[in-house]
Structure 1
């Protein structure tokens, strides 16, 4: 028979916050894959690499959430080093650095599987996210070490797809059975597995911190692009930068101030971890790609318009963000009317800008995206009763 651990409200520890510093480096490097790129192949590789980095980061975020103050420092620091190698490998991901990226990912996943075992032989079973303990998805990554590109990237995608299937297909009972069978092959006493569930409030804070890091990358790209602009005597530079910062503030308002765990308009108890985690990965990936394109938008001030690839990346990110936000708001009980009012501008405006925004000045383009991204905020404010 298994036992269930109880959780209590708490905040991120210093170890968890230090561990998150590697996410700053990772998001910065990953955003460069789409920064200035006109290749859909780079976009696809960005999706695979971001998902791999996020999965490795999440394995130890889950560990910190469950272990609380008992989290062992050395495994977390070793995982941090592995993630740092992954981040550093992104720049040369088209060449030999791809092997370093894969080896670091495999090492972090292997370490993540080991941390759930206590020094006395006991094992925690994380029923909310089985990927933390089931490493089937790592097998294609191991095979990829002997495969050349572009097939190695396909194997990476296959491994990540297996992880996604495991997330939704493996039940808690099946996970317990797998761990119990694993323990049965050991000599000596066989301790009972301990069922552990995620602390939702603490986990929402951790996911939100990752989202803040991603939005911070957007701020960094905007300021770097402004610093690289040789002439500031034209008002369009300032108007574009202000619009970019207003757009980032709008995304902050929807995903964090009015959302949960970085998911726009979501309530804390609306979704379980098995839906919340993949959704967070999707939103964070969209925002990181958006952050890279936002720097390109500021750099395009001198040309007077946005490049086609930048235009569609910005529009596609905002449209997807609006769809996710409207659905998350529905799940949080905001109502169908609110969802429609939120989704329509979030879809129509980006689509129109993508198709016919090639002649618009970057400042005008970005301000229109502010309207598209913030429609749900305006609707919510108008629905609130006036106070004396």
Structure 2
């Protein structure tokens, strides 16, 4: 798409060919790595210190805020990215807000203080509401949907600001209620008409963000190798690092084994896909935190049992596989391999070698899927060369 100083913000063409992520979208994702890393590190420390229930609960809340901010930007950009100066400036403001959100992750995680994160949301939402109002003014066909989006975002953000003044005892139920309302804004808005998000573009954007989440596993495996060599070549830490590499590679392989864009045919499919990825993203990043817990546990730097350290890896892997099967494969893949895999992961949680066993289990699942896919391909007819 050609760059210009100013364009009329019309809806993008659903049939546009070669639609791909823009450098600005990649820059936006890059800035979100900071927030994801903060959430993963906080989860690692909370679980490692024995605060498992608090750590998991806080992680799910904080990660929702990170994921939802990314979602708001991604779907708007897929429908209305004009790549002109006003659009770029608005996105840069959103990026600034995302960095403020990242700065508040640790405080929200440790103390339940969401003040900084909500300030970051105000910055991001101010720019995003302006984008939707601009779309409403320039795109008559999508005006009602755009105005509903702008109004809904403003109303819910007002509730989030009010959240800061609630008594402590009301915080958790209010957070759940406001999160549900926030997630419901696009559902209500698109009843007036679907925005012109591009299926292939959305599938690519989600794939790229999944890579960012899996990057947490890369970092964790690297730390395991580093600790292994600093400890005088610890075999168990090296095995954990190698297991982390295999786990990360297998999750990548399984996620990208199919092109999902053909299933994103309407708003219902889009909502299932978009919202269902909360589990995929959160589990992906949590695997990295779990690998860090497992490595620290081997160095006797945690205050948890062997089972908890093992579950910090096996549980998010199982959630990832289940969510991926529901979103990608439930119409084409049998459920028995999934059930057997999750059962094996559950059993390996109670062994002293959970990470390598998880790696072997995932490698076997990848091998099974590849063999099954190869057998399902039609055999090409023999075509003898002409004499």
Partner residue of 1:186? none
**Deviation string for 1:157-180 (max 9, x for gaps)?**
22111123444455522xx6xxxx
Of 156, 159, 167, which residue of structure 2 is paired with 1:140? 159
Partner residue of 1:273? 270
Q: 1:137–1:163: 8 Å Cα contact kept in structure 2?
A: yes
Distance verdict in 2 for CA 1:217–1:150, change over 3 Å: farther
Tell me, yes or no, if structure 1 residue 33 matches structure 2 residue 42: yes
Tell me, yes or no, if structure 1 residue 164 matches structure 2 residue 171: no
Question: How far apart, in 2, do the equivalents of 1:214 and 1:55 lie?
Answer: 15
Tell me, yes or no, if structure 1 residue 353 matches structure 2 residue 340: no
Question: How far apart, in 1, do the equivalents of 2:280 and 2:215 lie?
Answer: 15
Of 364, 378, 387, which residue of structure 1 is paired with 2:356? 364
Partner residue of 2:383? none
Question: How far apart, in 2, do the equivalents of 1:151 and 1:240 lie?
Answer: 42
Of 91, 95, 102, which residue of structure 2 is paired with 1:87? 102
Partner residue of 1:23? 32
1:46 Cα shift? 1.1
Q: 2:310–2:354: 8 Å Cα contact kept in structure 1?
A: no
1:314 Cα shift? 2.0
Question: How far apart, in 2, do the equivalents of 1:107 and 1:21 lie?
Answer: 18
Question: How far apart, in 2, do the equivalents of 1:311 and 1:344 lie?
Answer: 19
Report how many aligned residue pairs link the two structures. Answer: 355
Query: 247-256 or 308-317, which moves further after superposition?
Result: 308-317
1:309 Cα shift? 2.7
Comparing both structures, which one devotes a greater share of its residues to helix? Answer: 2
Q: 1:204–1:260: 8 Å Cα contact kept in structure 2?
A: yes
Question: How far apart, in 2, do the equivalents of 1:321 and 1:209 lie?
Answer: 16
Partner residue of 2:91? 76
Tell me, yes or no, if structure 1 residue 118 matches structure 2 residue 134: yes
Q: 1:30–1:50: 8 Å Cα contact kept in structure 2?
A: yes
Q: Any stretches of 5+ residues in structure 2 without a counterpart?
A: 1-9, 381-387
Distance verdict in 2 for CA 1:344–1:18, change over 3 Å: same
Please report the TM-score for the alignment, with normalisation by the length of structure 1: 0.79
Distance verdict in 2 for CA 1:40–1:28, change over 3 Å: same
Question: How far apart, in 1, do the equivalents of 2:135 and 2:21 lie?
Answer: 24
Q: 1:350–1:372: 8 Å Cα contact kept in structure 2?
A: no
Matches within 5 A, 1:197-212: 197-212=196-211
Please report the TM-score for the alignment, with normalisation by the length of structure 2: 0.80
Question: How far apart, in 2, do the equivalents of 1:281 and 1:242 lie?
Answer: 27
Of 350, 364, 372, which residue of structure 2 is paired with 1:380? 372
Distance verdict in 2 for CA 1:219–1:153, change over 3 Å: same
Of 121, 124, 140, which residue of structure 2 is paired with 1:105? 121
**Secondary structure of the corresponding residue to residue 198 of structure 1:** coil
Question: How far apart, in 2, do the equivalents of 1:106 and 1:363 lie?
Answer: 41
**Secondary structure of the corresponding residue to residue 147 of structure 1:** coil
Q: 2:12–2:80: 8 Å Cα contact kept in structure 1?
A: no
Of 281, 287, 292, which residue of structure 2 is paired with 1:290? 287
Question: How far apart, in 1, do the equivalents of 2:143 and 2:306 lie?
Answer: 49
1:225 Cα shift? 3.3
Question: How far apart, in 1, do the equivalents of 2:173 and 2:38 lie?
Answer: 21
Partner residue of 2:21? 12
**Secondary structure of the corresponding residue to residue 224 of structure 2:** helix
